Amino acid sequence: MTSVEPFDPGFGPLVDTTVRVAAWNLWATYAAWTVRGPIIEAQLRAAAPDIALLVEVWDDPAGRSQAEDLARGLGDYEHVAASNLTFADGIHAGNAILSRWPIARSEVRTLPREAPNGARDDEGEERLCVFAEIDGPRGAIQVFCAHLSWREDQGAIRQEQVRAIAEFARETRPRAFPAILGGDLNAAPDTDEIRMLTGHAAVPVPGIWFRDVWVHAGEGPGYTWSNTNPWAATSLDVDRRIDYLLVGHPKLGGVGHPVHAELLGDVPVDGAYGSDHFGLVADLRY
């Protein structure tokens, strides 16, 4: 029998440890917040992510912060947050990153609201990307939490936002663990803006592209906007996958390679869901 040497494409021996990352749009204080809040916290605690990338996270004029509450509820996590939306009652909402491990540095970027074709996002809120470098036990992890413009006719604006995120990711290199991008990108996988991020269309920044974690490690359609959720069904929309966890190409040891992905918050508690969106949770080699 002929002996065949195993082929190593350059990863070397694969690590078998993982990091668990979650992404979820929490829907601020819309609709039955006092019912939804405890559901969100319980489902995040059950998922036990090491890192959570959250959007539409609220804070109030009295100084209470949902990000801070969740960080405490998950077990004294560190967090960074930035708001981009203000409601009439003074409540703010925005993006937040929660981490089991220390956050070594962070930065907030405001994303474009205009496109070269003249399109403009006039919804009255800035769109943000929050960055954090996390001092994990096996090396630094760089994560980006983003929330893109929401209307279906704003694809050109989202493409400019994707370009800005890719430029942001280029600026934070080098890194031994591939960059993670998560959040509500408000676009289906076949749109130009998502294809630009995943290399299925021309990437806006050479060398910056991501794997769609659900494609690599999820099962089924993975709809995060689903008519099985009554909060979402009121929009009279179709089922779509618009929330993402994306990760760069694996590095030495296969770190960053998605080995498991599942939906988060897709099971009601006493008939109620925590948000109008379902979230995601994934395990990546680390």
Q: Is residue 213 part of a domain?
A: yes
Q: Is residue 9 part of a domain?
A: no
Q: Is residue 12 part of a domain?
A: no
Q: Is the dihedral of CA 31, 67, 160, 113 positive or negative?
A: positive
pLDDT, tens digit (0-9, with 9 covering 90-100), for 14-63:
999 999 999 999 999 999 999 999 999 999 999 999 999 999 999 999 98
Q: How many CA atoms lie within 13 A of 161 on its CB side?
A: 32
pLDDT, tens digit (0-9, with 9 covering 90-100), for 91-149:
999 999 999 999 999 999 999 999 999 989 887 778 999 999 999 999 999 999 999 99
If one counts the domains in the chain, the total is: 1
Q: Which of 39, 80, 18 is nearest to 277 (CA)?
A: 39
Q: Which is higher by pLDDT, 3 or 249?
A: 249
121: domain CATH number? Answer: 3.60.10.10
Q: Which is higher by pLDDT, 8 or 79?
A: 79
Q: Is residue 148 part of a domain?
A: yes
Q: Is residue 210 part of a domain?
A: yes
Q: Which residue has the tokens 């498991």?
A: 260
This prediction has a pTM of 0.96
Q: Is residue 269 part of a domain?
A: yes
Q: Which domain holds residue 146?
A: 18-285
Q: Are 144 and 180 in contact (CB under 8 A)?
A: yes
